[in-house]
Structure 1
């Protein structure tokens, strides 16, 4: 009889989404652990496939919920606050009060938060009310609260992982909340680096390089506009392409790429990262947005290695550091998941305060990992510094949003890059793009919440694979009559010195297998007697992030043939392709400036005219993949300029994200996808692609996530301007 009652209770608890108190009959068999697993690991994606497909509801207290008398009745009830149906498994927790009336947990928790402890239906006064607050490790036999309102066993975020023993205050006999500790005035409490592990990685790196004699950190190639020029002919603007490609992450001697990609990030020798995420939790992030952001952060946390350190800043009207910069060991991961899972959306949008606190973490850390970066995500506009309390300027000065410490230096290289993610139709894409450009980071446009995790995955796929730092590229003229005319390097700082005899480009960091292309313009003089003319030599000076040593690499001298008789000049497809890329970016910038003035028709014609010119180029006629992607991107922009409304909602952000990608030659998320027919794929590195595929696989393997995002896909397809 006892076992039947226990089974009935379990069935009822799953079907009705309620907490059933434990009895003696529920005790585990002898020898089985009685330690309860905490809901704080809800965000951990490592074992999402272990999650059950039937959701359960978190309880605000151990006694605050009661069994509904009828499952059919409860499923047909209407929440008296939001007036929508309450249905099991619909993505919303249900709270049943002691007076037997039920409400959506988030609705009633918000109601109670403002001091109302009376039932909205029968006016009965409650003794126990639902509260939203930081997740705590529960006492044995009690249930913890999920502040996001997500079902406790929902497969969207569930993973069963054992937490370290909770910290207890034995004088007060309750658990000390991790996130309620006061914030220090100085953020010098970062967790110490594991120096022994760093030394071991250096040794492993050196051994691997010794084993592979063909290993090169940077590959340098140069391409002339044409390979041969008649001796009697001269050029005023002869174009040379400088192509760089960073080396791959050094794998173990017996570890192929396919095996290495499946291993934990910390198992491959690479430069560890200090990462600060600055997350918008204003009121507009409530609901699905915040839940998917938490899942995306769970993915990031699980893919950081034990030598990487993470700190999370949450901002709304104000900003708060959730936890100090700490290593993502097993304990660190669990505490990070706990902190992220405690987030609740409310308040305004103070981006400047969030970035200020993020910069403070970076500035005041006692120790530093080789790679440092800030990730910023916001779905709104700053209403405090630029457009609100602190400003009301006719032309917003977006530099006010960034502390000076993370500005991009003019001559000393990059400080702390901010990779900004503008989210949804209401974010300020101009400010987010400016933040990324000023700091040396990228701007990604996340059109729908369904791709937050993919966008983060692509970004960290790069950050976790830095193989070159402080890269400076020097170009030197080798013929006495040659002079540099211009250096086209996008957003990378460049300069011509020595009266035009040399030039430099400050590139900064390169991810594994990342490529950079720069166009240099020179003059080619008439050659009286020699059969060839030496043009340029390229030198790269950079720091190895693992050994901390400065390295130098040089290219061979680039030469062109000088025959006596003029033959047919064969244009280099490599050079033509990169000329098309830069001209496409210029057309996009011009179209955007015209659109901002309200002339969408002219903006569309600018793009259409360049598409026609593009189709007649040598590389386009040879069906070059980059040119095909450029044409598709320009067409997409034209469609997003169909009306003023469409441009305001998505066109501006799409163009700015594209300009960011082109100017830095680095992959960004754009629109509703991180791959597809856009130019994004042209800048993706293999490790970015691997991380992106890992993210997509985790989403596809989760039925609950599919139920959540499928309606969003349908909605977006209906609203798409195409």
Structure 2
């Protein structure tokens, strides 16, 4: 059975028309990756891209007991799921850093070696997170081609207390390595329990195009790792770049994405590095346009959108281009004033994610009431919007309410709120599910990758 593999790009506007006068409008680019039909999900490993993983494992003293037991079981699950086309490395860190498994092919001999390393895993002393991450990144070959999916899985249950201890310092070290051609990959972070630095882990994952997973208890470790691994095994496109170019005298304003934006021509042309997409995923990027005045036009071009990417299935570059247009009229009719619910709901998604992120920043400096007010304002705006009844928006409102509950007091925020809000904002901005972090996000971003190790 032939199945589509090309990414699909669509342009929309919040409103279908504008008057002849100069004005500001919201447009949106939507990109979708086709899903594999369920009857074809059980395919030969050769049908997917090879995966290189580096597991950077916290073995500090606080990981003892159920945490280390569940972690070992999960590493065994990862080893089992990998094929002879894949490679795995394991780095363990406490006060010191140990490469206990160099990057190894996961054939039968490699899996035996990896499982032996996991069985020997024992807890130790402090938390040299920066040392572990740098060592893990250094294990990734610099000559990996675009046909391979590469990721580092960084795990901790505490705060960095040996080596570089701040998020900004760790990110600076990571970027220096990557700019030098070392460790160019996504970094997915996993925070175990309620004593880790959630903001640090989210910031590290932000800087390396990965996800942040909040693992509340030992039972959810396997679920989160399975979700992450399932996604990596289903990457359909890499090196995705979107170019937005204003038509005529129009000007491009703010582009709502957490991804890296390069300004080609100020106000006119921008390139966004979107990283990778997994099967069945969508990326929706709202952006603002300052529209020039005109005399009349049934089809007035706002912006040209161009997409390029490496198709992991066909092992070839793909590209597509189209114009986003609106009608220009002397006077707006009632129909012209009806907002597009698809665009509106993703504006709400950005609004909620920004509010949660702002609330975290406020709460981290002790401004709990101001943080709550920030969430309440966003929720009120979503409730009044045209897409308020949409499943995504209902999920946003539920999560904003949960976030508000996590700000009942400073202690509540420290014990629970910070983890939920960081995970929530991350999921919404990335449009990627982090299974155990926020059940409501599964409604927003349905994923076939939520398998477990059972």
Q: TM-score, structure 1 length as denominator?
A: 0.59
The aligned counterpart of 1:660 is 426
Q: Confirm or deny that 1:452 pairs with 2:200.
A: no
Residue 307 of structure 1 aligns to a residue whose secondary structure is coil
Measure how far apart 1:416 and its partner are.
1.5
Map 1:279-294 onto structure 2 (within 5 A).
Answer: 279-294=57-72
CA contact 2:353–2:426 (8 Å) conserved in 1: no
Residue 562 of structure 1 aligns to a residue whose secondary structure is strand
Q: Structure 1 stretches (4+) deviating beyond 6 angstroms?
A: 364-369
Tell me which protein shows more strand as a share of its residues.
2
Q: Deviations over 1:648-674 (max 9, x none)?
A: 1221122222222233222224xxx35
- Structure 1 range deviating more: 349-358 or 655-664: 655-664
Measure how far apart 1:455 and its partner are.
0.3
Residue 295 of structure 1 aligns to a residue whose secondary structure is helix
Q: Confirm or deny that 1:474 pairs with 2:236.
A: no
Q: Deviations over 1:254-293 (max 9, x none)?
A: xxx3344345xx5361111110101111111111111111
Q: 1:487 to 1:632 in 2, by over 3 A?
A: same
Please tell me the root mean square deviation across aligned C-alpha atoms, in Å.
2.5
The aligned counterpart of 2:136 is 358
Measure how far apart 1:475 and its partner are.
1.6
The separation in 1 between residues aligned to 2:52 and 2:443, in whole angstroms, is: 26
Residue 397 of structure 2 aligns to a residue whose secondary structure is helix
CA contact 2:424–2:438 (8 Å) conserved in 1: no
1:505 counterpart (272, 297, 304): 272
CA contact 1:275–1:375 (8 Å) conserved in 2: yes
The aligned counterpart of 1:617 is 385
Q: 1:286 to 1:530 in 2, by over 3 A?
A: closer
CA contact 1:228–1:563 (8 Å) conserved in 2: yes
Residue 47 of structure 2 aligns to a residue whose secondary structure is coil
Q: Confirm or deny that 1:638 pairs with 2:410.
A: no
The separation in 2 between residues aligned to 1:533 and 1:365, in whole angstroms, is: 46
Residue 679 of structure 1 aligns to a residue whose secondary structure is helix
Measure how far apart 1:363 and its partner are.
4.0
Q: 1:367 to 1:333 in 2, by over 3 A?
A: farther
Map 1:257-336 onto structure 2 (within 5 A).
Answer: 257-262=37-42, 266-267=44-45, 269-336=47-114
Q: Confirm or deny that 1:596 pairs with 2:364.
A: yes
Q: Confirm or deny that 1:417 pairs with 2:417.
A: no
Residue 593 of structure 1 aligns to a residue whose secondary structure is helix
Q: Which has the larger radius of gyration?
A: 1
The separation in 2 between residues aligned to 1:233 and 1:438, in whole angstroms, is: 41
Q: 1:560 to 1:367 in 2, by over 3 A?
A: closer
The aligned counterpart of 1:679 is 441
Measure how far apart 1:546 and its partner are.
5.2
The separation in 2 between residues aligned to 1:551 and 1:365, in whole angstroms, is: 22
CA contact 2:5–2:311 (8 Å) conserved in 1: no
Q: Deviations over 1:1-29 (max 9, x none)?
A: xxxxxxxxxxxxxxxxxxxxxxxxxxxxx
Give unpaired runs (5+ residues) of structure 2: none
Measure how far apart 1:431 and its partner are.
2.2
Measure how far apart 1:498 and its partner are.
2.9
Q: 1:661 to 1:292 in 2, by over 3 A?
A: same
Give unpaired runs (5+ residues) of structure 1: 1-207, 250-256, 388-392, 699-722
1:550 counterpart (304, 307, 317): 317
The aligned counterpart of 2:169 is 397
Q: Confirm or deny that 1:429 pairs with 2:429.
A: no
Q: 1:269 to 1:372 in 2, by over 3 A?
A: same
Measure how far apart 1:364 and its partner are.
6.6
The aligned counterpart of 1:240 is 27
CA contact 1:398–1:431 (8 Å) conserved in 2: no
Measure how far apart 1:422 and its partner are.
0.7
Q: 1:529 to 1:402 in 2, by over 3 A?
A: closer
Residue 83 of structure 2 aligns to a residue whose secondary structure is coil
The separation in 1 between residues aligned to 2:441 and 2:96, in whole angstroms, is: 37
The separation in 2 between residues aligned to 1:584 and 1:403, in whole angstroms, is: 29
The separation in 1 between residues aligned to 2:260 and 2:146, in whole angstroms, is: 25
CA contact 2:239–2:309 (8 Å) conserved in 1: yes
2:414 counterpart (622, 642, 648): 648
CA contact 2:392–2:443 (8 Å) conserved in 1: no
The structure with higher relative contact order (CA 8 Å, sep 6+) is 2
Measure how far apart 1:514 and its partner are.
1.4
